Amino acid sequence: MSQGRARDGEPAGEVYDWYTRAIELLEGGNPQAAAELLAHARARVPESASVLEALARASFDAGRFGAAAAQFAELADSSPDNDYAHFGLGLSRMRLGDHAGAIDQLAMAATMRPDRKEYDQALREARATIRFRQRDAGWAG
């Protein structure tokens, strides 16, 4: 792919270059920079599920849980059989404090992929948090 002249505000290179650099940044522990590159890629190829999933992961890892939830929700809506999208949406909702909303997504992911221990673990944590909060609310009353 050519390294031609970038459009105004865009990084040099092509979408594939941005995507591969972003994945390297994400795996190297720099999710904020990865999210910036992936946002450019998403603007150019909004139909790409791979770009959207990577952007959602980068947003989550960068602590932008609202953005990650929206991105994972979009991915889950467009690909209902994508277990990772449901898992990411569930984790994002947990980080936003919506444990009840997280349970539905995490249960779906765990049902789709019972071999993924991290899905089941996250579901157990969300359920335990709700039980704890309900018990704690009972003590306050």
- Residues sharing a CB contact under 8 Å with residue 70, sequence separation 6 or more, in sequence order: none
Q: How much is the pLDDT for 83? A: 98
15-93-111 Cα angle (round to 5): 90
Q: What is the pLDDT of residue 133?
A: 83
Fold of 65-135: 1.25.40
Q: Are 45 and 72 in contact (CB under 8 A)?
A: no
Query: Is the CB of residue 37 less than 8 Å from the CB of residue 24?
Result: no
Q: Where are the domains of the chain?
A: 1-63, 65-135
Rounded CA-CA distance 65/49 in Å is 19
- pLDDT tens, per residue, the chain with 141 residues: 334 445 667 888 899 999 999 999 999 999 999 999 999 999 999 999 999 999 999 999 999 999 999 999 999 999 999 999 999 999 999 999 999 999 999 999 999 999 999 999 999 999 999 998 888 776 654
